[in-house]
């Protein structure tokens, strides 16, 4: 079912683990051309065709009608106007008049014009001529996904406790703040398994350090939390602070482990700690070195991490900052007209993640210098690979929680992902929903969004509705930004409603873990568009607000403010289940459109006829769950 077409000398991204004989790109069954160094191909679509894929991307489940870019981008404003987010997941699938999948294994920029310029045409522009294209046909959508997933390798399975409820914020800056969070959840009797440590736990934002004033005797503290059933999950950033006496930086500098400029000097950019070096994760020896550094924290009992800022995010380069400051000095005292003012403003706005800075970074691949532009999309994936390789060697598979912001297909074998810095917007509940099947297609099963929204101030009802979707996502993490409203469950009035929602999660964990492991082992999806199960149902094919879950269920989160329910479409007779704390109500419903009442403390779920799922008794920690103490519903 899979044919591999090769052009030039592709960089080995290690995305594909199966071996395929290469066919000349001249045999590619699409109209194509090379234009100004770019390989461009296109295919026609009928009016009713659907295009799935692209993993973590803006807009809908059906990708038609927009232009997307594969370019890992540090962009916290996830609006419909954007073309790329933090990941590059180069898989799409046409479904309809013709059904096939395409994976482009290429670590630089790709432009996907999917019915935007011409409504019935997809035009793909690859920013180079060295790549592999994998073409998959002759099957149903789920068969094509499974064939692709088999080619790219088995998805990562995290430890069981990673399915518990997780609380994060930028930042719980010291032990007292962490203790206050745990105490708040305990007093409210709301389940909790993990608390996150954002950048302020470090000494001056230095990787693999702990500020001893904020966290005295860190190892003892971690052990104490573990006795309470709580896992602490620290952040690790890609940039290593430039500082004499800081061993990680000195080792990286002295051994030549950092990315270079064209003249061979270390590339230096500014991030949280100021000037940093960026490890050249594309080198195996650098990955081994950087991965081994996690030992500082695993020796303290840490068994979960999140990798961040690894697109890589660059706030500024020294050259770029100097140019901007010089421009500001030149304009000081002048009467700035419209164009001059915006020229100055745009100069400073353009400092972060600047294309010229990326172009000045060089990697060493197989002994040769390669410009970052050609490998940008696999930088973050290789950072996570460094950690994953170390964890597997030291602890075995599935012992350490690992997930990342930037990613490329292949990283799914060693980590999960979260969907980045979203907002406390109602539209982002649906954006979360729409990313789930797309991420699953690309192998990323352990995934989820920042529940309640990361940026801006959340409302009580928004957090509850977000959590009611998060009940089903493998990563269930509440996360908020510095300066925003406290959105821990116990900080809202009538936190019993939050307890009801989170308890539902713990009741579902045995079921969710079972279908997760099954999806990993069988190269399957946890979340599917309705059209996968009901291909002849026009309403199901167009539905973007509901998903199939496992083999048994359909989910339909409430995503609007100031409503007590919503309309839902049933493609067949189903049992409507409402879950709230330890309460379960069921109602048989016929195929068709129904209005369902869903209060803020309720989680709606539909179960197919003849199917059942298990519910266990809730507990405050996953370690207290009894997976054998289950009832079957309906």
pLDDT digits (tens, 9 = 90+) for 289-319: 999 999 999 999 999 999 999 999 999 998 8
Does the pLDDT at position 68 exceed 90? yes
Does the pLDDT at position 531 exceed 90? yes
Residues 438, 465 contacting (CB under 8 angstroms)? no
pLDDT the model gives residue 499: 98
Six-digit token pair at 369?
Answer: 């210098």
50-73 burial code (b ≥16 CB/10 A, e <16): bbbbbbbbbbbbbbbebebbbbbb
Beta strand 477-478 pairing with 450-451: parallel
303-313 burial code (b ≥16 CB/10 A, e <16): bbbbbbbbbbb
| Mean pLDDT across the chain | 97
Which letter does DSSP use for residue 61 in this model?
S
Phi, psi of 441 (to 5 degrees): -55, -35
Residues 456, 423 contacting (CB under 8 angstroms)? yes
Tens digits of residue pLDDT in 436-446: 999 999 999 99
Range 534-555 average pLDDT: 97
pLDDT the model gives residue 448: 98
pLDDT the model gives residue 172: 98
Tens digits of residue pLDDT in 247-286: 999 999 999 999 999 999 999 999 999 999 999 999 999 9
Does the pLDDT at position 90 exceed 90? yes
Does the pLDDT at position 1 exceed 90? no
Closest CA relative to residue 164, chosen from 471, 518, 548: 471
Q: At what angle do helices 496-521 and 460-470 cross, to 10 degrees?
A: 30
- CA within 13 Å, CB half, 472: 27
CA distance 403 to 400: 10
Six-digit token pair at 81?
Answer: 């106007």
Does the pLDDT at position 217 exceed 90? yes
Residues 602, 566 contacting (CB under 8 angstroms)? no
Closest CA relative to residue 509, chosen from 156, 164, 158, 157: 164
Does the pLDDT at position 188 exceed 90? yes
Task: Give the Cβ contact number of residue 483 at 10 Å.
Answer: 9
Among residues of the chain, what percentage have pLDDT more than 90? Answer: 99
3 state SS of 567: strand
pLDDT the model gives residue 568: 98
pLDDT the model gives residue 138: 85
Does the pLDDT at position 166 exceed 90? yes
pLDDT the model gives residue 440: 98
Range 4-28 average pLDDT: 97
Among residues of the chain, what percentage have pLDDT more than 70? Answer: 100
For the purposes of burial, counting CB atoms within 10 Å of the CB of 376, is it exposed (0-12), middle (13-18) or buried (19 or more)?
buried
3 state SS of 614: strand
Closest CA relative to residue 86, chosen from 419, 476, 384: 419
Task: Give the Cβ contact number of residue 294 at 10 Å.
Answer: 22
Confidence of residue 622 (pLDDT cuts 50, 70, 90): very high
């Amino acid at each position: 079912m899979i044919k591999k077409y090769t052009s030039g000398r592709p960089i080995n991204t290690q995305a594909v683990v199966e071996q395929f004989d290469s066919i000349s790109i001249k045999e590619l069954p699409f109209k194509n051309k090379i234009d100004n160094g770019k390989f461009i191909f296109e295919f026609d679509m009928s009016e009713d065709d659907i295009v799935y894929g692209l993993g973590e991307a803006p807009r809908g489940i059906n990708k038609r009608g927009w232009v997307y870019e594969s370019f890992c981008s540090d962009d916290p404003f996830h609006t419909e106007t954007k073309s790329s987010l933090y990941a590059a997941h180069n898989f799409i699938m046409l479904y309809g008049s013709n059904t096939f999948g395409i994976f482009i294994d290429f670590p630089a920029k790709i432009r996907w014009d999917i019915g935007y310029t011409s409504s019935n045409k997809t035009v793909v522009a690859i920013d180079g001529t060295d790549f592999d294209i994998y073409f998959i046909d002759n099957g149903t959508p789920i068969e094509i996904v499974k064939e692709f997933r088999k080619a790219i390798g088995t998805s990562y399975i995290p430890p069981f406790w990673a399915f518990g409820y997780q609380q994060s914020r930028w930042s719980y800056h010291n032990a007292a703040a962490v203790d206050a969070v745990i105490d708040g959840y305990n007093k409210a009797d709301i389940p909790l398994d993990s608390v996150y440590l954002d950048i302020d736990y470090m000494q001056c934002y230095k990787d693999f350090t702990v500020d001893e004033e904020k966290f005295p005797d860190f190892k003892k503290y971690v052990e104490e939390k573990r006795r309470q059933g709580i896992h602490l999950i620290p952040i690790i950033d890609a940039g290593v602070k430039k500082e004499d006496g800081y061993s990680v930086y000195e080792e990286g500098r002295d051994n030549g482990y950092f990315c270079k400029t064209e003249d061979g000097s270390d590339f230096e950019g500014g991030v949280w700690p100021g000037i940093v070096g960026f490890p050249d994760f594309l080198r195996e020896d650098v990955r081994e070195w950087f991965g081994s550094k996690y030992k500082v924290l695993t020796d303290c009992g840490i068994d979960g991490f999140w990798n961040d800022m690894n697109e890589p995010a660059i706030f500024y380069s020294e050259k770029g900052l100097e140019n901007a400051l010089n421009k500001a000095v030149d304009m000081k005292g002048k009467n700035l007209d419209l164009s001059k003012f915006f020229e100055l403003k745009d100069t400073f706005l353009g400092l972060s993640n600047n294309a010229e800075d990326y172009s000045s970074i060089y990697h060493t691949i197989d002994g040769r210098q390669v410009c970052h532009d050609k490998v940008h999309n696999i930088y973050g994936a290789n950072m996570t690979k460094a950690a994953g390789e170390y964890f597997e060697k030291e602890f075995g598979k599935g012992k350490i929680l690992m997930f990342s912001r930037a990613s490329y297909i292949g990283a799914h074998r060693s980590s999960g992902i979260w969907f980045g810095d979203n907002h406390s917007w109602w539209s982002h509940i649906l954006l979360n929903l729409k990313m789930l099947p797309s991420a699953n297609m690309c192998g990323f099963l352990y995934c989820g969004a920042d529940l309640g929204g990361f940026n801006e101030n959340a409302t009580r009802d928004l957090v509850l509705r977000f959590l009611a979707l998060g009940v089903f996502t493998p990563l269930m993490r509440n996360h908020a930004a510095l300066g925003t409203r406290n959105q821990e469950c116990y900080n809202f009035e009538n936190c019993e409603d939050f307890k009801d929602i989170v308890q539902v999660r713990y009741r579902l964990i045995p079921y969710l873990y079972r279908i997760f492991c099954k999806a990993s082992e069988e190269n399957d999806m946890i979340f599917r568009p309705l059209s996968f199960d009901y291909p002849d149902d026009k309403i199901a094919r167009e539905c973007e607000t509901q998903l199939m879950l496992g083999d048994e269920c359909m989910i339909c989160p409430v995503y609007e403010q100031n409503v007590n329910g919503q309309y839902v479409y049933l493609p067949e007779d189903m049992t409507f289940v409402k879950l709230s704390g330890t309460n379960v109500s069921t109602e048989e419903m016929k195929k068709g459109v129904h209005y369902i009442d869903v209060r803020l403390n309720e989680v709606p779920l539909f179960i197919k006829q003849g199917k059942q799922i298990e519910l266990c008794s809730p507990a405050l920690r996953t370690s207290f769950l009894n997976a054998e103490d289950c009832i079957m519903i309906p």
